[in-house]
Amino acid sequence: MKRSLIAAVDLAIIGLILFFIIHYANTKMHESNENQVEAFEKMTVSAEQTITNYLEDEQHLCDIWANYINRSAQAGTPLTGEEAISFIRKAKISPMIYGHLIFLDDSSKKGISTHPSASDPNDYSVSYGNINLFENREKISREVGVVSLTRAYTNPQNGIQSIAFMNYVNVLDEASGAIKEALLMRVEPVSVLEDKFVFLKGEYESVEISLINREGDYLVHGKSLKNSNFFEYYRSYNRLKVADYNEMTKRVTSESGTMTMQNSKGEECVISYTPLRSVDDWFLLAYIPKKDLAANTVVDWLLLGTVILGLSLLIIFNYLVLRSYNIRLTAAAKAANQANEAKSHFLSTMSHDIRTPMNAILGLNEMVLRESREEETLNYSRSIQTAGNTLLSLINDILDFSRIEAGRMEIINVDYSFVSMVNDLVNMVSGRAQDKGLKFDLDVDRNIPMILNGDEIRVKQVITNILTNAVKYTKEGSITFKAGFEKEESKNDSIRLFISVTDTGIGIKAEDMKRMFQAFERIDEIENRSIEGTGLGMSIAQSFLNLMGSHIEVESEYGKGSTFSFALVQGVKDWKPIGDFEEAFKKSLSDRNKYRERFTAPDARILVVDDTPVNLSVFESLLKYTKVRIDKALSGDEGISFYRREHYDVIFLDHMMPDKDGIETLLEMKEISDSPNNGTPVICLTANAISGMREMYIREGFDDYITKPVDPDRLELMLLHYLPKDKIASAKESEVKEEKDIPDFISRIDGLDIDVGLKHCRSSETYLDTLKVYLDSAKGNADEIEKYWDDRDIKNTTIKIHALKSSSRVIGALGLGDLAEKLENAGETGDVKTLEDETGELLSQYRKLAKALEPLNDIRDDGGAKEKPLISKRDLKEAYEALSSFCAAYEYDSVVNIMESLKGYSFPEDEYMRFEALKKAVLNFDYEEIPTILTGGEK
Amino acid sequence: MKFKKISSILLTAAMAVSLVSCGSAGQKNSAEFSPALSTDTSCSIRVVGSYSNFESLESEFERFYEYYPNVSMNYVYLDDYNNTITSALMSDEAPDIYVTASWMLDDEKMTPVFEKAEVLSDQKLNINLDCIRKGAQWKTESGDTIMLPVFTRSFGMLVNMDLFEKNSLSIPGNYEELVKTCEKLKELGYETPIMGANGTTVAGMYYSFSFPLFCNDVMKNKDSVNALNALEGSAGELMRPALERLKTFVDQGYLNPEKCSEEIEDDYNAVIMRFFEGDVPMMLGSGDMVSGTLKRESKSEAFLSNPFKYKFFVVPSGDEGGYFLNSVNLFFSVNKNSKNLDMTNEFIRFITREEELGNMAAIKRLITPTNDFSLDEVYSSLEGFPQERAFSYRETGLNDAVGKEFRAAAYKVANGMITVEEAVNSYGKLWD
């Protein structure tokens, strides 16, 4: 995990903790605020109770006055207005409280007061004429105990804002002597009521208590609620829809509750409201700024700060501890990496070291298989091949496993022929099955498309593993390979390939199924100890399929057999059905032991650079029948000198070489600007087959690589890919066997098509004899033609040329034959000019061909080299050393003796010419030439 | 020589000092208010008045609290103010500040009210009364200022600016241009270019249209004031020029009393609502009427759907232009027996500044008593109004009876009840 990611996770955790704390604190604060609001509302309700009590008490006092006056009237001794006021004057205790007796029948609403006017101490009259106070006179109750209260108004006598409790009284009208109704008012300054509010505030310092009527007009209001009307004030500073506003006014004037609003300063404040129970249409409002109500409006920053600090310290501590662990872990990881690198290096080295000799073993063995006619030898050779291949596959398994483990296994999709793949698989397995006496059945859907797209190599490897296992673990019975398919519905250009392999082998126990695909697990180890294997095969196969989006399914009955199957999506490049595979296979089966090259390319030229002569020899041998011309170099520097001089179509360059390795050589080659090989593909020859090598070589500038031991098939396929197409010709069926008897030099003769020659002569034996005859007659014929022509004997010249045409064509000298035909025609038509121009050329070519065929004489002289034993290298070396020393000592007799004894041997091809040159030198007594020939200065 | 040099230095120094003091006096008006008392002073101040609602004053309370957060100010509406204020001032709960009006000075009953009033022009109080327009300043006979003008009113017309702009008309600057503009408007299809309330109140259209012109004539004939005040019949001649111009306007159809009666029921609400219909180019009325416009904008559906810009102008009834006749609408007096007299005076010192008086006037949409009209765009036409054509009603020396006679004359002439000649001859007997 990256450090930044750890830091991010740490921060996220801190964030979460802080979020939780803040959220929790907020919730608590919210709850606390809600409680505060609730308590505030309760305070409002209890304030209302207090006010109601007060108002009822005051009304009660007013009622006492009224009762006294009214009872007097009822008793028949009604009081006059003056008497009534006089009574009240005596009854009331506080000087602040006025008693007004108002005669409402008078439009000026005049009456008598307990107090004189402020401006005139003798004036006790009072008038409400200019004060709009008795609009709802009918609402004033005559009942005792019912609060009848005025709004706050200005006491006309003293100009003090007051409220008045009212009741009706009956008094005697002195003028008429009748009893008339008057309104008795107990007038009290609003400030008295306001003073009560001070005690109501309780714990709320900034609370302001107001009383409003239904219209919102204030009876009393604090300094924060402006305007003369609460609702107007509310509307001035709070934007509300009409419906919401009406709802608000309705709530405030009908029930108890709490709401928030903005005051004139834009601050949020809380208003608790409740109706006054004692007085209709009066409502109590308790106002408080929200900030004063909610004491805990902020999170406890000290707590939060401490938590942040604590967490930060924890993180720093953890970071330091982790860092020290990391340093130790890094060291351990480094050591582990070094060990792993050592392992990789070991694998690489092992691979290289094993593969290099394997190249020689398998390559030379291949040559033995190709060339040997001795059945016994061929049997040994086949055993070598089998063991070698087993060893190689074990190494390959280990290398594949290491690739998979390192995650470097890549799936590389290519177009491939399904038939060709199955053919290879069956070829490989059917032989082994046959050897074990097993029946090998094929059931291949004939409609499977011809060309598929997928990782051919891996698919093949998976099936090979399954098939090989089936053969390994089946003692008797049969193995059935089945291939089917269905079209992928989701993809037009794909099929789902079904492959299954059923055997009648030992089967797998249910409890072993799980271990089936585990690396290095071998089931029934004791039972199967004789069977070779690393225990990697199925694990690798399963891994490959997993990489390709599939998996192996196993059905098995212990002791009876198993079926391994898988389904794999493959692209389709050619929907043409493969047809009847079995038939095709059976036919091919009969040819399975025969080698045949895929192509010939006599005009192609390749360069191989390898420090091991045997490898060069093997390489050359493997390509012998393709007729590709090969130049060999034993070191990088030698390779470079070839590279400078000659043009090649492909260059094979060994990686591991002394002095200058393959990569250094390649780099040096690439720096040469004037080489004829700019653009020539360079393929790395390597015994390094561990994972990642391909990428490494491509990165270093190689075009491709091929592993040693060189797989002949793969080598030919690679050349098919890299050689220019115009230099590639298809191989002829018949050549294979016959060609083996035709000396190498003949196939290298320009202008001689061996294929045509062989075709005409039916066998190589006849061909060689024909060539011999051709050669023997060549000199005389040439001389004769020249003579006839010099004499301008056109007729005979033409006859001779005609014979030349035919014989040339028989041996495959087609170019010479064609030229002869042209001159023959010229002779017949008397075209002297053509004869003049081209007879020289004809003779020149004829003689050149004869010259090239001259080694045939040696073969004849040899008396059949094939019967003589091949001289060993050591013997040859000793012989050459002896010849050299005898020549130096002028003991020419000894030289002759040695040469005579050497004639009893056959020579390797590369020494043959040297031996012929030596023979010639001895024959001509040219002993001084011998050391030069021996040192390779002259042939 | 030496002495001469010293005296010249002294003189220079004195000049410098005087310059500095002038500078600081000048700055005081516009500079930030600096509290003179301890800002944590805690007390309660009560203002009483006859407005049931006094939001502009409450706004000033809030602004004052910024300097004195512990002061609690309260405005109380007194029922039957004119009768109760006297008692209120004598009571235990006497107000600290109370509203006064110019007529109270002439009313004997109100004498006790002014007896309680603090002298605001007392140098010790440091109240900048100089910011008040000259015509709005009221002083006692002894030269003291006991009433602080808060709002003034004038008479004129509301002009629909968008309508003028739409028809590429400019605001008329004198009588001739007014006539031409009315003619043009009639041609454009505005049947009666000028409307207003057809009545005899000061808010009626005739007062706004021709009374300032009459007053201007009176100002030029100061010796006739006494005769006018005494309602002497011969003094009626002074009304003639103003009445004739009114008559001309009616005769030309620029003013249509009958139509105005039909469409405008009262001199306040109906005038405003009719103007908001948007088809009246000029609407005559008083400053009080203008003060009601802001609140009624949202009540007029026509205005809400087609809002337009409008401004107040004095009617250009004179040859050289209109006359800015203004009178104080409302004064504040301070109860010199206030329990918190220092803080009360501090509040008065606070609001006696162009900014605060302008702010109050703008909220109330009345005319500020200062010369700074910048705070309310509606009155922006008064900014820099020529001094020679601006005067207060008090400066004319006329009493209320003269105003009534003129209003009656104008009403009767405009409605064709009497001729100009008859009106002039009937001066003193015109008010019913």
Give yes or no: residues A777 and A816 share one domain. Answer: yes
Closest Cβ opposite residue A131 in set B55, B79, B86: B79
Interface test with B, best of A113, A117, A161 (most B CBs within 10 A): A161
A886 and A834 in one domain? no
Residues A467 and A581 in one domain: yes
* Nearest CB partner across the interface for A118, out of B52, B78, B87: B87
Contacts of B85 in chain A (CB under 8 A): 159
Q: Minimal CA–CA distance to B281: which of B178, B385, B414, B155?
A: B178
Give Cα A668 to chain centroid, integer Å.
38
User: Treating both helix axes as pointing N-terminal to C-terminal, what angle do A301-371 and A613-622 enclose, rounded to 10 degrees?
Assistant: 70
Residue A241 near chain B (CB below 8 Å): no
Is the pLDDT assigned to residue A566 strictly greater than 90?
yes
Report yes or no: A94 at the B interface, CB cutoff 8 Å.
no
Residue of A223, A231, A262 to mutate for B, most B C-beta atoms under 10 A = A223
The verdict on domain B153-326+387-425 having CATH code 3.40.190.10 is yes
pLDDT at residue B3 greater than cutoff 60 = no
DSSP string covering A587-638: HHHHTTT----SEE-TT-EEEEE-S-HHHHHHHHHHTGGGT-EEEEESSHHH
Residues 6+ apart with CB under 8 A from A49: none
The pLDDT value given to residue A524: 64
CATH code of A87's domain: 3.30.450.20
User: Average per-residue pLDDT in chain B?
Assistant: 88
Q: Please give the pLDDT value at position B1.
A: 41
Paired tokens of A618: 């093997």
Which of B79, B81, B86 comes nearest A119 by C-beta? B86
Higher pLDDT, A304 or A486: A486
From B244's Cα to the closest Cα of chain A, the distance in A is: 42
Task: Say if residue A909 is in the same domain as residue A928.
Answer: yes
Max Cα distance, chain B (Å): 87
Q: Which of B53, B72, B91 sits opposite A159 (nearest CB)?
A: B91
User: Left (φ > 0), alpha (ψ -120 to 50) or beta: where does A262 sit?
Assistant: beta
- Best B54, B79, B116 member to test A by mutation, with max A CBs in 10 Å, is B79
**Mutation target among B93, B98, B304 for the A interface, most CBs of A within 10 A:** B93
CA A215 to chain centre: 75
Cross-chain Cβ contact A226/B58 below 8 Å: yes
Where are chain B's structural domains? Answer: 36-151+329-372, 153-326+387-425
Q: Answer yes or no: do A580 and A640 share one domain.
A: no
Identify the residue with better confidence: A375 or B317: B317
pLDDT of residue B27: 38
Least confident interval from A10-24, A523-537, A843-857? A523-537
Banded model confidence at residue A251, pLDDT cuts 50, 70, 90 = very high
Report chain A residues whose CB lies below 8 A from the CB of B46. none
Count how many domains chain A has.
Answer: 5
Size of interface A-B (CB pairs under 8 A): 75
Residues B383-419: pLDDT tens digits?
889 988 998 888 898 988 999 999 999 999 999 999 9
Among A117, A131, A228, the residue with its CB nearest the CB of B87 is A117
**pLDDT of A433 over the 90 cut:** no
What distance in Å separates the CA atoms of residue A658 and residue A386, rounded to the nearest whole number?
Answer: 32
Q: What residues of B are in the A interface, CB distance below 8 Å?
A: 52-53, 55, 58-59, 61-62, 72-74, 76-81, 83-94, 112
Maximal C-alpha separation, chain A: 196
Residues A716 and A823 in one domain: no
Residue A777 has pLDDT above 90, yes or no: no
For residue B72, CA distances in Å to A262, A642, B47, B50, B340 come to 19, 113, 11, 20, 11
What is the band of A593 on the pLDDT scale with cuts at 50, 70, 90?
very low
Considering only alpha carbons, which residue of chain B is nearest residue A229? B53
Kindly state whether residues A477 and A515 are assigned to the same domain.
Answer: yes
Q: Which residue has the higher pLDDT, B26 or B197?
A: B197
Clarify whether residues A668 and A782 are in a common domain: no
Contacts with B92 from chain A: Cβ below 8 Å: 160
Which positions in chain B touch A130 (Cβ < 8 Å)?
Answer: 79-80, 83
A526 and A628 in a single domain? The answer is: no
Q: Which amino acid is at A423?
A: N
- For B93, the closest of A131, A189, A229 (CB atoms) is A189
Residue A864: per-residue pLDDT: 44
Contacts of B80 in chain A (CB under 8 A): 130-131, 154, 156
Q: Where is average pLDDT lowest: A580-584, A599-603, A812-816, B313-317?
A: A580-584
Domain residue limits at A856: 754-862
Q: CB A160 to CB B86 under 8 A?
A: no
B330-342 per-position pLDDT tens digit = 999 999 999 999 9
Lowest mean pLDDT among A155-159, A382-386, A576-580, A888-892: A888-892
Within a 10 A sphere around the Cβ of A580, how many other Cβ atoms?
11
Window from A731-740, A788-797, B16-25, B274-283 with minimum mean pLDDT? B16-25
pLDDT at B11 over 90: no
CB contact A265 to B (< 8 Å): yes
The last residue of one of the domains, among A814, A836, A862, is A862
Which of B73, B87, B94 comes nearest A157 by C-beta? B87
Q: Does A89 touch chain B (CB under 8 A)?
A: no
Give B327 to chain A, closest Cα distance, Å. Answer: 26
pLDDT at B237 over 70: yes
Helix, strand counts (H, E) of chain B: 20, 9
More confident residue, A6 or A348: A6
Q: What distance in Å separates the CA atoms of residue A474 and residue A467, rounded to the nearest whole number? A: 11
Q: What is the pTM of this model?
A: 0.54
Chain A interface disruption, residue of B59, B91, B115, most A CBs within 10 A: B91
| Per-residue model confidence as pLDDT tens digits over A679-721 | 899 999 886 655 567 778 888 889 888 877 777 777 888 888 8
Phi, psi of A608 (to 5 degrees): -120, 130
pLDDT at A334 over 80: yes
Say if the Cβ atoms of A158 and B88 lie within 8 Å.
yes
Q: Which of A130, A159, A265 is nearest residue B88 as measured by Cβ atoms?
A: A159
CB spacing of A130 vs B80 below 8 angstroms: yes
**Of A532, A559, A590, at which residue does a domain stop?**
A590
The confidence score (pLDDT) of residue A689 equals: 58
Facing B87 at nearest CB: one of A159, A229, A265: A159
Put simply, the answer to whether A159 touches B78 (Cβ < 8 Å) is: yes
CATH number for the domain spanning A785: value is 1.20.120.160
From the list B53, B93, B112, the residue facing A228 with the nearest CB is: B53
Chain A nearest C-alpha distance from B72 (Å): 6
Asked if B91's CB is within 8 angstroms of A154's CB, the reply is no
How close does chain A come to B87, measured CA to CA in Å? 5
Residue in chain A nearest B55 by alpha carbon:
A227
Cα separation, A754 vs A596, in Å, equals 16
DSSP code for A118 = S
Q: Are A54 and A318 in contact (CB under 8 A)?
A: no
Alpha-helical runs (H) found in A672-793: 693-700, 712-722, 735-739, 744-747, 754-761, 764-790
Residues of A in contact with B79 (CB under 8 A): 130-133, 153-154, 156
One domain for residues A812 and A924: no
Residue B193 confidence (pLDDT) above 90: yes
- Residues with Cβ within 8 Å of A130's Cβ and at least 6 positions away in sequence, in order, are A156, B79, B80, B83
B77 chain-A contacts, CB cut-off 8 A? 228
- CATH number of the domain that A679 lies in? 3.40.50.2300
A405 domain residue, yes or no: no
Mean local confidence (pLDDT), A754-759: 76
CA of A121: which chain B residue's CA is closest? B87
Name the residue type at position A127.
S
- Fold assignment, B36-151+329-372: D-Maltodextrin-Binding Protein; domain 2 (3.40.190)
Domain end residue (candidates: A809, A841, A862): A862
Query: Which stretch, A202-211, A868-877, B16-25, has highest mean pLDDT?
Result: A202-211
- Residue A20: pLDDT band (50, 70, 90) is confident
Q: Which of B62, B88, B91 sits opposite A264 (nearest CB)?
A: B62
- A848 and A869 in a single domain? The answer is no
The whole-angstrom separation of Cα A619 and Cα B37 is 116
What's the pLDDT band for B19 if we cut at 50, 70, 90?
very low
A526 vs A113, residue with greater confidence: A113
Model confidence at A330, pLDDT cuts 50, 70, 90, reads very high
Asked whether the beta carbons of residue A118 and residue B91 sit closer than 8 angstroms, the reply is: yes
Residue of A160, A232, A265 lying closest to B88 (CB–CB): A160
Cβ–Cβ < 8 Å for B88, B94: yes
Q: Strand, helix or coil at A362? A: helix
Q: Does A162 touch chain B (CB under 8 A)?
A: no
Give the lowest-confidence range in A270-274, A897-901, B80-84, B304-308.
A897-901
pLDDT of residue B260: 94
Phi, psi torsion values for B93, nearest 5 degrees: -105, 40
Contacts of B83 in chain A (CB under 8 A): 130, 156
What percent of chain A has pLDDT above 90?
Answer: 18
pLDDT tens digit string along A61-120? Answer: 999 999 999 999 999 899 999 999 999 988 877 888 999 999 888 778 899 999 998 878
* pLDDT tens digits, A397-408: 777 777 776 666
**H-helix segments, A372-455:** 375-405, 418-435
Q: Is residue A733 pLDDT above 60, yes or no? A: no
List chain B residues with CB under 8 Å of A156: 79-80, 83-84, 87
What average pLDDT does chain A have? 82
Contacts of A158 in chain B (CB under 8 A): 87-88, 90-91
Same domain, A682 and A795: no
Q: In terms of CA atoms, which chain A residue is nearest residue B295?
A: A236
